[in-house]
């Protein structure tokens, strides 16, 4: 097991009507003026935003609203949120939504007390503790941003999608009501399940040997996501299935499933270039295409690790040929994503071979060279992985 530091300050409020406790709990923690940050129409039309606003008002907490977060959140709206926070003396940021809204809220919280451009943090990765406290009402289990140290934001002007890690931006409170996920469209549910699963794959496959306590937690979460996926797609109002998925999504990216490991994150880097190229590409859908391609390219570095994963997660019986077992595990992974309705090729996402060279410069700017830990990848390796995914 490698040395590690692990921070998890989030207070979880889980269950029916959890969002109605937001006002009281923020007021108890000193909130007086909150930036209420959310996405598009669904949070408003469902009445969720009004319920949260009423909760804040009942507790004597003022709020300033900023909606309009898109999937793959963009820096322009973040800058608007930073300006509003400074203008109104905001002391908490409350995100109502999924990973995109939470990531945007984190970036606003980081920039609220900064005199320069908030994008500086994404370029330099400079750490700061001067971050507004963040709370979350989660509506889409997927990214795990409700408890993670990471935020990812796009800069359309630069054609970049970049991450910024900082423990100071982990949310202080996460209100998690599985009932809020009942009306999610099947595709969005499936993309979220894929994203969760891939968060675990990034941590399971690296250059560290066995770490039993972490590996077994990771594998258990993979099996849980696999088991609950068909239940929530067939019966979207199954409370227990939705609850298991919501809690698993947090655990998949909180960090606990990777302690003592180096983690890889090459595939997330490869996918970020897809959704930077076309913001309409859903992150989970892009991962469904890129992860099996990455697996096919790198598995020979440690086929036994892949065979072990196949046995534990998919129940594959050993054949005596570890390379065949590894390839079978990769086939099962692709099949699992396809069973959720996810794409299996870049062509299905509208990406062509000519687009590969457009992505390489920003991939290099974001990830450097080499990148990844399971196998150190060059930009030529990245080109070949994209080609495998076509």
Residue 4 is predicted with a pLDDT of 87
Q: What is the spatial distance between Cα 236 and Cα 251, in angstroms, rounded to a whole number? A: 21
Range list of H helices, 29-159: 41-45, 48-58, 75-88, 99-111, 119-124
Residue 58 is predicted with a pLDDT of 97
Does 370 share its domain with 385?
A: yes
Residue 179 is predicted with a pLDDT of 97
Domain-located, residue 280: yes
* Cβ proximity of 54 and 132 under 8 Å: no
Does 324 share its domain with 222?
A: yes
Question: Using only C-alpha atoms, what is the Rg of the chain?
Answer: 20
Residue 203 is predicted with a pLDDT of 96
Does 352 share its domain with 318?
A: yes
Domain-located, residue 233: yes
Does 267 share its domain with 377?
A: yes
Does 360 share its domain with 306?
A: yes
Residue 7 is predicted with a pLDDT of 84
CATH number, domain containing residue 215: 1.20.1090.10
Q: What is the spatial distance between Cα 244 and Cα 372, in angstroms, rounded to a whole number? A: 30
Does 361 share its domain with 289?
A: yes
* Cβ proximity of 143 and 106 under 8 Å: no
Does 167 share its domain with 197?
A: no
Residue 374 is predicted with a pLDDT of 97
* Cβ proximity of 197 and 144 under 8 Å: no
Output the CA torsion 45→47→53→56 (10° steps): -150
Does 268 share its domain with 235?
A: yes
Q: What is the spatial distance between Cα 243 and Cα 37, in angstroms, rounded to a whole number? A: 24
Residue 1 is predicted with a pLDDT of 87
Q: Which domain holds residue 69?
A: 11-180
Residue 204 is predicted with a pLDDT of 97
Does 190 share its domain with 166?
A: no
Q: What is the spatial distance between Cα 105 and Cα 114, in angstroms, rounded to a whole number? A: 15
Residue 169 is predicted with a pLDDT of 97
* Cβ proximity of 238 and 331 under 8 Å: no
Does 85 share its domain with 44?
A: yes
Domain boundary among 180, 208, 228: 180
Domain boundary among 123, 146, 180: 180
Q: What is the spatial distance between Cα 146 and Cα 102, in angstroms, rounded to a whole number? A: 7
Does 171 share its domain with 200?
A: no
Per-residue pLDDT of the chain (390 residues; tens, 9 = 90+): 888 888 889 999 999 999 999 999 999 999 999 999 999 888 898 999 999 999 999 999 999 999 999 999 999 999 999 999 999 999 999 999 999 999 999 999 999 999 999 999 999 999 999 999 999 999 999 989 999 999 999 999 998 889 999 999 999 999 999 999 999 999 999 999 999 999 999 999 999 999 999 999 999 999 999 999 999 999 999 999 999 999 999 999 999 999 999 999 999 999 999 988 998 999 999 999 999 999 999 999 999 999 999 999 999 999 999 999 999 999 999 999 999 999 999 999 999 999 999 999 999 998 999 999 999 999 999 999 999 999
Domain-located, residue 1: no
Tally of domains within the chain:
2
Residue 251 is predicted with a pLDDT of 95
Q: What is the spatial distance between Cα 50 and Cα 44, in angstroms, rounded to a whole number? A: 7
Burial string for 304-330 (b: 16+ CB within 10 Å, else e) reads: ebbbbbbbbbbebeeeeebeebbbbbb
Residue 105 is predicted with a pLDDT of 98
Q: Which residues are registered as beta bridge partners of 154?
A: 74, 161
- Residue 353: how many CB atoms within 10 A of its CB? 12
Residue 41 is predicted with a pLDDT of 82
């Amino acid at each position: 097991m490698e040395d590690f530091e692990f921070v998890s300050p989030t207070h979880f409020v889980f269950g029916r009507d959890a969002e109605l406790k937001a006002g009281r709990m923020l007021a108890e923690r000193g909130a007086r003026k909150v930036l209420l940050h959310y996405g598009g129409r669904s949070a408003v039309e469902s009445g969720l935003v009004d319920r949260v606003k009423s909760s804040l008002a009942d507790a004597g907490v003022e709020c300033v609203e900023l909606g309009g977060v898109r999937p793959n959140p963009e820096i322009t709206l973040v800058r608007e949120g930073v300006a509003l926070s400074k203008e109104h003396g905001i002391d908490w940021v409350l995100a109502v939504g999924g990973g995109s809204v939470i990531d945007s809220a984190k970036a606003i919280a980081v920039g609220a007390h900064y005199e320069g451009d908030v994008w500086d943090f994404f370029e330099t990765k400079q750490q700061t503790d001067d971050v507004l406290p963040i709370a979350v009402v989660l509506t889409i289990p997927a990214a795990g941003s409700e408890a993670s140290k990471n935020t990812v934001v796009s800069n359309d002007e630069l054609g970049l999608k970049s991450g910024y890690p900082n423990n100071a931006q982990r949310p202080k409170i996460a209100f998690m009501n599985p009932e809020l996920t009942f009306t999610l469209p099947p595709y969005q549910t499936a993309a979220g399940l894929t994203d969760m699963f891939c968060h675990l794959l990034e941590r399971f496959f690296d250059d560290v040997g066995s770490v039993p306590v972490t590996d077994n937690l990771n594998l258990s979460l993979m099996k849980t996501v696999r088991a609950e996926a068909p239940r929530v797609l067939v019966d979207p109002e199954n409370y227990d299935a939705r609850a298991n998925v919501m809690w698993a999504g947090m655990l998949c990216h909180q960090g606990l499933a990777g302690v003592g490991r180096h983690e890889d994150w090459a595939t997330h880097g490869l996918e970020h270039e897809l959704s930077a190229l076309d913001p309409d590409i859903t992150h989970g859908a892009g991962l469904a295409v890129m992860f099996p391609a990455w697996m096919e390219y790198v598995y020979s570095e440690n086929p036994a690790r892949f065979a072990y994963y196949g046995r534990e997660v998919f129940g594959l019986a050993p054949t005596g040929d570890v390379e065949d077992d590894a390839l079978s595990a990769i086939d099962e992974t692709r099949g699992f994503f396809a069973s959720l309705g996810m794409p299996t090729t870049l062509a299905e996402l509208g990406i062509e071979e000519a687009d590969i060279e457009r992505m390489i410069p920003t991939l290099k700017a974001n990830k450097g060279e080499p990148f990844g830990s399971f196998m150190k990848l060059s930009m030529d390796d990245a080109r070949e992985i994209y080609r495998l995914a076509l």
